[in-house]
Chains A and B, each alone.
Chain A
Amino acid sequence: MKKYLLLLPILFITGCTSYIELNDLAIINAIGIESIENEYHLTASIVDTKDIETNDVKTIIYETKGTSINKIIDDLSLTLNKKIYISHLDLLLINESIKTKEFEEITNFFLNNNESREDFLVIYTNDIKKVLENTKLKEINDLIEINQNETSKSIYTTMHDIINNYYLKNDIYLTNIEIDDKVKILGLKKFKSNKYETIESNDTLFINYILNNIKSYKYSLECSNNNYLYLNILKSNINELNNKYLITNEIKVISNECNLTKDEINEVFNNYLKENLSRFTNKEINIKNTIRGLNEN
């Protein structure tokens, strides 16, 4: 009997306090935070469970404002008859108003909140409310993810990345989107020294090179009149050593209409990379390519 009594305390380590019925939860799937006149304005997208039977996730937008993130999240419950549930937050939208002080507050909130995770996407937009009202969360997530993986023209920045970069005092890169008829990627926003810099969509690729985020992309060059060289960069890796970058690329030649040799392709592609990367870094760049799919005979 004594051994069972010894086991008894483990039953009280956790348990009933976390009990909540599923239908008593207000699941927040996206929020937008902006700072206006020293007040945080929160736009939250809460899943409306009543419309899910049609297999279509519909959301309701709620807005609050206050002096701290904790307070405005709590204030959301004033208009809801459910418990605010932030564990399934998938998207955070911010705009130019979020600077160092606000980043401090936001990162603190997510670090200290034991309900929330840190793997959700953070993006920059000037149309916070419009984006939340008019687009589906999955569309935005897929847009950013597919573009990072296939074209390297976006960066999938998570809250975890932001926390790391913020406390390591690194630059923070966020994908910049706008909504017209549809959501569109404009490029990147780089947060450095308490201000945002704009990086054009075409230059996102080189930022991804420097951040070692390249998964795959396609490169084309008009090598002579109406003749093109098409390359598919399958894999890329960057190593930084002694103020030097060593970039290794695995390249598949898709089309070689100018009949360039392997060395010529190497040269053309290396020049293209060096020229563009040098705009974003002053480190020495060495490039090593593995070229496949070229019949030199």
Chain B
Amino acid sequence: MNFIDELKKDIKDTDDFIFKEITIGKNNITLIYVESIASSDNINNFILKKISFLDKLNSNDLTDYLYNFLPGANIQKLKDYNTLKEMLLNAFTVLIINKENILAIETRRDLSRGVSEADYEKTIVGPKDAFIEHYNTNLGLIRRRIKDINLHTKTYYLGKYTKTKVGIIYIKGICKNGLVKDIEKELQSINIDAIIDSNYLKRYLNTSKSLFPTIKGTERPDLACLSLLEGKVLIITDNSPEVLILPTFFIDFFHTSDDYYQKAINISFIRFIRLIAFIVAIFLPAIYIAITTHNPDSIPINILLSFQSQRLTVPFPAFVEAIIMIVSFEILRESDIRIPSSMGTAISILGGLVLGEAAVSAGIISPIMIIIVAISAISGMLMQSIEAINSIRWYRFTSIILASIFGYYGIFLGIILILTTLSDTKSENKDYLYPFSPINFKEQQDGFIKTNIKGTKYRNPILSNNHIRGK
């Protein structure tokens, strides 16, 4: 059975595989391509047009002639049937000449969107471009910024059915070899049907049980480059606009790329605000519940009386009230993400009215609880990573439960729980709380406090052996 018959048998009724027979003198050429991923224009202009001139020529070895003269940078001679199938599915056009020789020419259709603005990692200053779903474009966005021969890539094709192109990107000389090898080993061990998005890889690369994310995904090429220059490793996945940064530390979720484009003193202030927001996001509802149920003696009487008067008509205990509000907020947030943007305004108004005015008027929820949950929710949104936001949500629930049973004592138990979890967490065998635990005073220059670029002279010693920047 020849390749053509074998292929026709394999694809059965699949109708986007196009077969075209061309006879030139004594030679018979079968042109095969997959219509849905290959570009018809490219095939017409660079293959069929060239072949149409062949009858005037008298070539003895047609395969060699086509290999040399067809205009295409990526043209390959194939030997076996499996490679032929793979090439077809990678948008190559295959020419089977006299049922023996096979040539594959890249005729990929551009299915990806253009480079656009970052969607969830917004910044005020700095570059606006973001990664897209195309591997080479993403790599190009990095190479455009780091023009160095030491920027290395290692490519893998993962997923039994998807054969998704996954690349490890690092800078040789900055990044420690051991880290790259560890990640390679982890990628090689992945055995899965499909890698649809880079988030699939997170599940395999993240061995920590912590709720806090230990791998950060970014859509910003500038942040990716900053990470590379720090000695970190990037993983680019084809068809995913999110590039993974490994390893990731807890403090990384308090940093944004435009932190490096503004005055250091302003950034130190903003990072301090982010830290407060993180604490408020987790503990504010719990503190309110502790005050109203166990520790009313801990606040001035005027505030206490204000709380008391606001809760007069509320039929639920503070704990139930908080859970109702937080669950309502989560429903609103989820519906806001899922529904089409044209209906977003209606839902926002409805949600705002129901959660705000109407719930208070009906005496179901006290105004102070709305304020508490709103501040807590908004504070939680300061994190740009959705996984970090989700982890905050779980710790918020945990601290609320602990506070409702034990009061302030419960909140301190919650703090101990979070600190021990964070201390126990590792990202690619590196301590997640670094540079705070273990403490490194030099690294505090870019921790919660930011010194100016001149001050950040040293690279993170646990990521790089090349310690001094600029050398």
Contact = CB atoms under 8 A, between A and B. Distances in A.
A14 B297 contact: no
B309 A117 contact: no
B296 interface: yes
Interface string A36-48: 0000000000010
- The residue in A10, A22, A57, A117 that gathers the most chain B C-beta atoms within 10 A of its C-beta is A22
- The residue in B291, B306, B406 that gathers the most chain A C-beta atoms within 10 A of its C-beta is B406
A16 interface: yes
A117 B299 CA distance: 13
A18 B292 CA distance: 11
A87 interface: yes
B305 A21 contact: no
A52 B306 contact: yes
- The residue in A27, A49, A117 that gathers the most chain B C-beta atoms within 10 A of its C-beta is A49
A23 B293 contact: no
Given A18-B294, A19-B293, A22-B311, A52 B406 contact: no
B293 A20 contact: yes
Given A23-B308, A52-B308, A57 B293 contact: no
A286 to B, nearest CB: 43
Contacts of B60: none
B406 A11 contact: yes
Contact of B297 (A13, A21, A87): A87
A20 B404 CA distance: 10
B305 A49 contact: yes
B167 interface: no
Interface in A42-68: 47, 49-50, 52-53, 57
Secondary structure of the A contact surface, majority rule: mixed
- The residue in A10, A14, A23, A27 that gathers the most chain B C-beta atoms within 10 A of its C-beta is A23
B307 interface: yes
Contacts of B414: none
Contacts of A23: 308, 311-312
Contacts of A88: 296-297, 301, 304
Nearest to B302: A57
B407 A25 contact: no
Size bracket, chain A contacts:
20 to 34
B24 interface: no
B65 interface: no
Given A50-B312, A85-B296, A87-B297, A22 B409 contact: no
B410 A25 contact: no
A27 B312 contact: no
Contacts of B296: 20, 22, 25, 85, 87-88
Given A18-B407, A27-B301, A49 B312 contact: yes
Given A15-B409, A21-B317, A25-B296, A90 B301 contact: yes
Interface string B401-434: 0000111011001000000000000000000000
A115 interface: yes
Interface in B270-298: 291-294, 296-297
A29 interface: yes
A22 B407 contact: no
B318 interface: yes
B398 to A, nearest CB: 13
A52 B309 contact: yes
A15 B402 CA distance: 9
Size bracket, chain B contacts:
20 to 34
Contact of B304 (A14, A16, A22, A115): A22
Nearest to A25: B296
A49 B308 contact: yes
A19 B406 CA distance: 8
Given A22-B293, A22-B296, A117-B297, A16 B405 contact: yes
Contacts of A22: 291-293, 296, 304, 307-308, 311, 318
A21 B293 contact: yes
A19 to B, nearest CB: 6
Contact of A27 (B292, B304, B407): B304
A115 B297 CA distance: 8
Contact of A21 (B301, B306, B309, B318): B318
Contacts of B317: 21
Contacts of A52: 305-306, 308-309
A18 B293 CA distance: 8
Contacts of B294: 18-20
A158 B306 CA distance: 26
B409 A13 contact: yes
Contacts of A57: 302, 305
A24 to B, nearest CB: 10
A21 B405 CA distance: 12
A4 B336 CA distance: 39
A50 B305 CA distance: 10
A87 to B, nearest CB: 4
16 contacts: A10-B413, A15-B407, A16-B406, A18-B294, A20-B296, A21-B317, A22-B292, A22-B304, A22-B307, A25-B296, A27-B301, A27-B308, A49-B308, A52-B306, A85-B296, A90-B301
Interface of B: 291-294, 296-297, 301-302, 304-309, 311-312, 317-318, 405-407, 409-410, 413
Given A15-B409, A57-B302, A87-B296, 16 more contacts: A11-B406, A11-B413, A16-B405, A20-B296, A22-B293, A22-B311, A23-B311, A27-B304, A47-B301, A47-B305, A49-B305, A50-B309, A52-B305, A52-B306, A53-B309, A88-B301
Interface of A: 10-11, 13-16, 18-23, 25, 27, 29, 47, 49-50, 52-53, 57, 85, 87-88, 90, 115, 117
Q: Closest 10 CB pairs between A and B?
A: A87-B297, A52-B309, A22-B292, A15-B406, A88-B301, A49-B308, A14-B409, A18-B294, A52-B305, A22-B308
